[in-house]
Amino acid sequence: MTEETKRAGDAIALRAGPLEVMFQDGALHTFVAFGVEVWRGVMFLHRDATWRTPAVAVRDLRVTAREASFHLTFDARCAMSGATLAWHAVVEGDTSGSIRFAVEAQPDADVPTNRTGLCVLHPLSAAGSRLEIEHADGRLSHSTFPTLISPWQPFTQIRALRHEFLQGCWARCRLDGDVFEMEDQRNFSDASYKTYSRSNLMPRPYRLAAGERIRQSATLTLEACEPVRARPRTPDPCVEITRTRIGRLPRIGLSLARLTAGCAARPGLWHASIDRIAAGAESRDDVQEIQRRAAVAGVAIELLLADDREAAQECRNLSERLSSAGVTPESIAVFPTTRRSVSAARAAFTRSLVGGGTPWFFTDLNRATLPAELDFITFRTCPIVHVADDRSVMQTLSTLPSIIATLRERHPGVAFRVGPASISMNVNPFGAWPEATGGTPLAMARDDPRDHESFGVAWGMGYLARLASGGADVVSFASPTVFTALASLAQRAGAGLLDATVSDDTIAALAFETPRGIEAWMANLTDRPARATLRIAGENRRTLAVAPYGLARVDVSAADSRVDR
């Protein structure tokens, strides 16, 4: 047994019977039993009246760890304008495979909030798993975790959740202190299902009164689970490239919004946003800049209107301004996307593709009804809507296939475009952006420093690889740094895309045809060096060392890379 005081930022490995878990920064994450992730996380979370998450300071962290049990306590606080919310947490794990996370919180002044309480995350791997829900009134219902992304809360009035994480192995999560409900966080590209307190159907923001005590707990228990052999872990990732074409490499776009005057990028498309939501608003990307950039590449325009009543006039005005500058847009996406606005765009831009969807995140698209008369659908994602740590940001890449599958189900046969994407929240439908905190990753940040670092490049490569394999027509980026690192791929747009699968989520990969044979790109999505084996049609070709958050490019000669059409 060890008993010690730890630093707040330390990552601490703990064990409760067969359940392994990590603790860091006041939260539990990555609950694993028998080699399978059972839960993704438990945390106490405060969101302010604009959905921002104030920075949390953890102190007085004390841990008593045994071979198969532990006891952990800490204090935490977050400061808002004129108030501080403080809480004390007790976390205990026992040898039976049960962990209890209990919190008592209290503000020292009145605090407006959209959400304050415990959150429990189930992992993406739970999709399709059998689920039993015990409701607050004692009812028991049976279902499964959604496979396609649920646009609204799939389960409400929750007291406890019991799911099958392995065949015959069940895990139970009981929640006390309030009534809880679940949302499918893949809507926001988070790789989890989140169960939280206070229904979204209730008014918000609401007020926490000075001195009001909040007492909540989550008890996570393994049930009906005979000891089984843990799933083996693959030591090194493997990239398997088949010789079957699955589509074409999408065009890679770049946003005009953050370009500097001397930027010499040559994207597949420039992405320009014209904002008419506020009367007399200036364009985010003015026509003069669009004219200058159109000499290099085509321009895809988003037109944001206050509503569709003035769509005809606004579209005519914009068309005339662009025509006088000698610019014919490759496409125009109009928001809100209604039959009236789409008809107006078609009438004004007769030589352009006309699309729509949302200028915001997939959530809004998943809840929208769109007219059928669209050449393409467009939306954005952001990996830091809820949390901003490195691990969670990279995990968002695993949600992209679910987003694509849901989109295909709702809008079969329609081309789709995604972006401009970045780690930063470059658009914000929720209200004010949080203030910078000296380089510390922050949810909903307007400018995340990782967009300018190797981490952001690796994330961008992973983003492109997932969307390309899913059939995206255009993938645009907001970060010039990310685009520059992938610029040579932009020149390969339209190349025959080959099936490239990876053995785990530590590596992202894509492969495509060239006149010389096959070109493969890989990104290491971790902070550790990786050795990846490259196979083509089952044959080992080479092993590559890829630096932390690094890229690797491989050319395979035509003689070794016959492609099945």
Q: Is residue 509 part of a domain?
A: no
Q: Is residue 351 part of a domain?
A: yes
What does pLDDT average to over the chain? Answer: 90
Same domain, 73 and 172: yes
Same domain, 276 and 422: yes
pLDDT band at 296 (very low <50, low <70, confident <90, very high): confident
Residue 442 CA: distances (Å) to CA of 83, 112, 447: 20, 20, 10
Name the domain boundary from 223, 258, 274: 223
**What is the per-residue pLDDT for 234?**
61
**What is the per-residue pLDDT for 521?**
95
Q: What is the dihedral of CA 344, 414, 386, 419, to 10 degrees?
A: -70
What pLDDT, in 10s, does the model give residues 149-158? 999 999 999 9
Percent of the chain with pLDDT over 90: 73
**What is the per-residue pLDDT for 55?**
83
Kindly tell me if the per-residue pLDDT of 277 is higher than 70: no
**What is the per-residue pLDDT for 563?**
35
User: What are the start-end ranges of the H helices in 325-475?
Assistant: 339-348, 362-366, 390-395, 400-410, 454-469
* Beta carbons within 10 angstroms of residue 37's beta carbon: 16
Same domain, 306 and 408: yes
Same domain, 204 and 258: no
Establish whether the linkage from the previous residue to 205 is cis, with ω within 30° of 0: yes
Name the domain boundary from 493, 513, 543: 493
Same domain, 261 and 186: no
**What is the per-residue pLDDT for 284?**
53
Per-residue burial over 273-293, b = 16 or more CB atoms within 10 Å of its CB, e = otherwise: bbbbeeeeeebbbebebbbeb
Q: Is residue 550 part of a domain?
A: no
Helix (H, G, I), strand (E, B), or coil: what is residue 533?
A: strand
Q: What is the DSSP string of 469-518?
A: HTT-SEEEES-HHHHHHTHHHHTTTTPEEEEEEESSTTEEEEEEEETTEE
Task: List beta partners, residue 111.
Answer: 208
Higher-scoring residue by pLDDT: 5, 544: 544
Same domain, 213 and 302: no
pLDDT band at 26 (very low <50, low <70, confident <90, very high): very high
CATH code for position 299: 3.20.20.80
**Contact 286/257 with Cβ under 8 angstroms?**
no
Domains of the chain: total: 2
**Contact 358/338 with Cβ under 8 angstroms?**
no
Same domain, 476 and 346: yes
Name the domain boundary from 173, 188, 223: 223
Same domain, 217 and 298: no
- H-helix or E-strand containing 147? none
* Highest mean pLDDT: which range of 180-184, 203-207, 434-438, 440-444: 180-184
Over range 510-526, report the average pLDDT.
Answer: 92
**What is the per-residue pLDDT for 565?**
30
* Highest mean pLDDT: which range of 144-148, 198-202, 244-248: 144-148
**What is the per-residue pLDDT for 264?**
78
pTM of the model: 0.91
Residue ranges making up the domain that contains 415: 250-493
Q: Cβ neighbours of residue 203 under 8 Å, at least 6 residues apart?
A: none
**Contact 372/355 with Cβ under 8 angstroms?**
no
Percent of the chain with pLDDT over 70: 91
Kindly tell me if the per-residue pLDDT of 354 is higher than 60: yes
Nearest alpha-carbon partner for 31 in 101, 122, 164, 159? 122
Of 78-87, 308-317, 503-512, minimum mean pLDDT range: 78-87
Kindly tell me if the per-residue pLDDT of 232 is higher than 70: no
**What is the per-residue pLDDT for 282?**
43
Residue 227 CA: distances (Å) to CA of 96, 170, 223, 507: 12, 12, 11, 31
Q: Is residue 507 part of a domain?
A: no
pLDDT band at 438 (very low <50, low <70, confident <90, very high): low
Same domain, 190 and 279: no
pLDDT band at 257 (very low <50, low <70, confident <90, very high): confident
For 238, counting Cβ atoms within 10 Å of its Cβ (0-12 exposed, 13-18 middle, 19+ buried), the class is middle
Q: Is residue 84 part of a domain?
A: yes
**What is the per-residue pLDDT for 439?**
65
Q: Is residue 65 part of a domain?
A: yes
**What is the per-residue pLDDT for 4?**
54
**What is the per-residue pLDDT for 537?**
76
Same domain, 105 and 68: yes
Per-residue burial over 432-446, b = 16 or more CB atoms within 10 Å of its CB, e = otherwise: ebbeeeeeebbbbbe
What pLDDT, in 10s, does the model give residues 154-210? 999 999 999 999 988 999 999 999 999 999 999 999 999 999 999 988 998 999 999
Same domain, 94 and 218: yes
* Highest mean pLDDT: which range of 254-268, 417-431, 528-542: 417-431
**What is the per-residue pLDDT for 306?**
86
Q: Is residue 241 part of a domain?
A: no
Same domain, 290 and 211: no
Q: Is residue 50 part of a domain?
A: yes
**What is the per-residue pLDDT for 69?**
96
Residue where the block lists tokens 């050319």: 555
Kindly tell me if the per-residue pLDDT of 262 is higher than 70: no
CATH code for position 183: 2.70.98.10
**What is the per-residue pLDDT for 51?**
87
**Contact 236/531 with Cβ under 8 angstroms?**
yes
pLDDT band at 430 (very low <50, low <70, confident <90, very high): confident
